[in-house]
Amino acid sequence: CGGAVMDLFGDLRRMNKRQLYYQVLNFAMIVSSALMIWKGLIVVTGSESPIVVVLSGSMEPAFHRGDLLFLTNFHDDPIRAGEIVVFKVEGRDIPIVHRVIKVHEKGNGNIKFLTKGDNNEVDDRGLYKEGQNWLEKKDVVGRARGFLPYVGMVTIIMNDYPKFKYALLAVMGAYVLLKRES
């Protein structure tokens, strides 16, 4: 590992300033392109988080830990029982992926609904903020429209092992900075 680090610094020293600036600029373009794609997905899907990773086994067998979900959140679409939603509740940072099991629609168009994980014994009222018995449309981050199985395991591994995340980011950054055009 120490030899690889020395090689990295040796490569950096051999680059002239123009090459180094070019590589830094190249890296910045990759990062800004990724951010633009993400913002574009937010606009197209109507969801503040168009892609999420399932972090627990509460939705098995429909979704497993590490599945990558694609979300939309068009406010004109009514929420229906049986639909899988991703929602945020006050006091929790991480959104929850569960199925709508009951919907109450009032005459004025207000909708309240109750969720439950397919693999859970009880509904989600214990997960909602204290005193809250139902979710509303404002709590919904998105609705599951498709998924890729286990693709999100990389995210889970990076969250469980932060050193791995930083090592992976360092290797990717070094690769982009040191990659020479053919």
Which are the catalytic amino acids?
Answer: 58, 98, 124
CB-based contacts of 118: which residues, under 8 Å, 6+ apart?
A: 58, 59, 60, 61, 62, 98, 99
Degrees to nearest 5, angle at CA 166 with 164 and 172: 100
